[in-house]
Chain A
Amino acid sequence: MDPLFVTGLSWSVVGVVLIKVVAVFVFLLLATMLMVWFERKVIGDMQNRIGPNRAGPWGILQTLADGIKLFFKEPLIPDRADRRIFRLAPYLSFVPAFLVFSIVPVGGVFANGEDGTVTILGHETFLQLANPPVGILVALAMSSVAVYGVMLAGWSSGSKYPLLGSVRASAQMVSYEAALGLSVVSVVLITGSLRTHQIVAEQAQGIAHWTLVAAGVVPFVVFLLAGTAEIERPPFDLLEAEQELVAGFNTEYSGIRFALFYLASFMNTITTSAIIVTLFLGGPAGPAPVGPPLLWSFFWFFAKLIVFLFVFVWFRATLPRFRYDQLMDLGWKALIPVSLGWLLVVAAIRIAYDRNYSSGQVLLVALVGGAVLAIAGLLLTAAMRTAQRRRDLEVERT
C-alpha cells in the first residue's frame, strides 16, 4: 500500500478507486430506497396495516415516487432564515452519512490465512472504499459532523420549533457520543487496531473471536442503544417528536432539501447497522460450505446487516418515545458508567493476558475487576439516590 503515491500514480489505482466510489454510492442510494420501503412495509405488517403497495410490485418503488415528487416541489426558504446556512445544512447531514460507509469492509475472505484482498484491474485491494489508519474514529467523527447538519438546520430556520428540536438533538447526540466512543474502545482493546480491516480480520477465526463474545455483550448492547440514539431513531427520536415540535429541526424544509434529510436519516440507519456488524459480528466472516468463499462473505455481511435493519424497525414499531429527562438519565447515569466500568475490566484482563498470567490468575483479575465494578455501581446508585432525596426535600421546602 502506498497512500502518498511516492512511486507514482497508475491508472489502475484511479480506476479501482473510481469503481469503488461509484459502487458504494449506488449501493447506498439503492439500499436507502429499499430501506424506506422495508421499514414502511414491516411497520405496516406489525400494525396490521397494508403499507405501500401502489408503486411497482409490492410498492417497492414507493421511495422513488416520493423522491420524484419531492424533487419537483418548491424548495421554500423562510423569510427569517439564514439563507446560506439553511441551504448548506442538508448536505452537512447527508454527506457524513455517506462517508461513514467508506470504511466498512463489505466482503473479503479472511479465513485460512487469506487477508481479505481481491484483485481488481490487476491491483490488489480491500473490499472497502478506504482503510485509513484512524479507522473507526472516522465513523465517530462523521457522526459528530452530522450534529452540525441538524444543529445548523434548526438554527438557520429562524423559527422556534426547529430551534428547540435541534437543541434537543445536539444535546442528545453529544451525550450519547461518549457512551458510543467508550464502547468502541473496548472493541479496539480486544482487536488491537483502529483499522476496520484489522478489526474484521481479528474476528475471522470463529464466533468465539467475534467481539460480541470476546469483549462481553455489554459493549455491544451499549453501542446498539447509543447508536440508536445517535442516529435519532425511535425510541430516541426526540428531535422530531411530532406532538411537541411539529416535525423537529426540519419543519421549515421542503422539496429536495427535506428529501436529503429524510434520506440521510435512513442512510444513517444502514451505516450504523454496518458499523455494528463490522465491530461486533465479524463483518463478512462466516462459513462457506460450497462455492467461492468470496460470495459467501458478501452473503454473510448482508445477512447480518439485514438482521440489524430489521431490529431498528422493530424498535420503532414497539417502543414509545423517551421523555427528555429519561433520555439524559439513560445516557449519563447508565450507559456511560457501565461502558466506562466495563472498559476498565476489559483493560485489566487484557493486561493480564499481555503479561502471560496463567488462566487462574486471569480469572482472578476478572473477578476482582467485576467486584470493583459492582462496588462502584452500588456507590454510584447510592450517590444518585441521595442526590434525588435531597432534591425532593428542597422541592418540599419551597
Chain B
Amino acid sequence: MGYLDGFAVTFRKLFHGTEDGRVVTVEYPKKKRAKAVRFHGRHVLNRYEDGMEKCIGCELCAGVCPAKCIYVRGKDNPVDDPVSPGERYGFIYEINYLRCIHCDLCVEACPTEAITETKLFEFSFTNRQDAIYTRDELLVDDDGKPQRLPWEDWREGEDVHTSAWMRATAPSGAAQYEDQVAWAGELGYGVRPPEHGQRLDEEILVATDEAQADDPEEQVLHGVDAQTHGEINPQGHPHVGEGDVHS
C-alpha cells in the first residue's frame, strides 16, 4: 500500500478502539481517572490518634515555601487544655492557594508530619478570601478525614490516602529506612504501614513484573491496595541497626 497505509489505519480506528477500550478519553466531570499515589493536592493538617494536633507551630513549612504562601504563628499550649502534645501549637495556620505551587517542600520540611497533601485539586473559589485556607479548614475532622468545603469536588475514596508521599521517603528520604516505621500514628488510621520502597531488590522486581502482567488500570489499583493494606514481604531487606542510622 505504501503511501496509503495511513488511510487504512485511521479507517480501522473508526470501528476498533484501543486495547483498553473504545476510547482513551474519560468523560471527566462524570468519571475521573484514578489519581497517582503521590499526587500533590490540597493540604491537610493531621492529628494524633488521641485527637491532638500534630502541628507545633515551628514555621519550618513557611520558611521553606518557595511561593511564600504559608503563614504560621506558634503559641504556647494552654496548660489546662493543650492543643498539641508538645510545648507549642500552630495558633494561626494559613495557606494561600492562589500562590501555592504544590511542590510539597512544606511536607518534607515538617518535623512532625503535621502537614501532608491530599489528592484533591478540583477546588475553585469565587473570591480571594476563600482561596486562603485557615487552620480550621485545613485540620482533619474527628474521623481523620479532610474536611469537605462547599467549593471542593470530593468523590468517594479520594480522601483516603492523605499522607502517602511523606511516608514513602521519610525520614530524610534515605533508602536504608525502607520498611522502618518512623512515623507517628494518625487520627482515624492508626500507625500507617510502610510501603514498597525505591530500591531495586530482587523481590521488588518480581512484584512489578506481576503487576505489569495485569491490566494497566488494575496496576494503579494494585499500588493503592499495597499502600492501604501494607502488603509487604518482610524478607530480603537488610536489617538496619541503630549505628547505621547515625553514620
Contact = CB atoms under 8 A, between A and B. Distances in A.
A45 interface: yes
A7 interface: no
A53 B31 CA distance: 15
A48 B17 contact: yes
A361 interface: no
B238 interface: no
A50 B7 contact: no
B23 A46 contact: no
Contacts of A45: 13-14
Nearest to B27: A50
B126 interface: no
B236 interface: no
30 contacts: A42-B14, A45-B13, A45-B14, A46-B10, A46-B13, A46-B14, A47-B13, A48-B13, A48-B17, A48-B18, A48-B22, A48-B23, A48-B24, A48-B25, A49-B23, A49-B24, A49-B25, A50-B23, A50-B25, A50-B27, A53-B27, A314-B7, A314-B10, A314-B11, A317-B10, A318-B6, A318-B7, A318-B9, A318-B10, A319-B6
B5 to A, nearest CB: 10
Interface in A311-370: 314, 317-319
Interface in A33-51: 42, 45-50
Contacts of A48: 13, 17-18, 22-25
Nearest to B24: A48
Contacts of A317: 10
Interface residues of A, number: 12
Interface range, B side: 10 to 19
Contacts of B10: 46, 314, 317-318
Contacts of A49: 23-25
Interface in A69-102: none
Contacts of A314: 7, 10-11
A99 to B, nearest CB: 32
Contacts of B9: 318
Given A49-B25, A53-B27, 15 more contacts: A45-B14, A46-B10, A47-B13, A48-B13, A48-B18, A48-B23, A49-B23, A50-B23, A50-B27, A314-B10, A314-B11, A317-B10, A318-B6, A318-B7, A319-B6
Nearest to B4: A318
B214 to A, nearest CB: 22
A39 to B, nearest CB: 13
CB-based closest 7 A-B pairs: A318-B10, A46-B10, A317-B10, A318-B6, A48-B24, A46-B13, A49-B25
Contacts of B11: 46, 314
Interface in B1-57: 6-7, 9-11, 13-14, 17-18, 22-25, 27
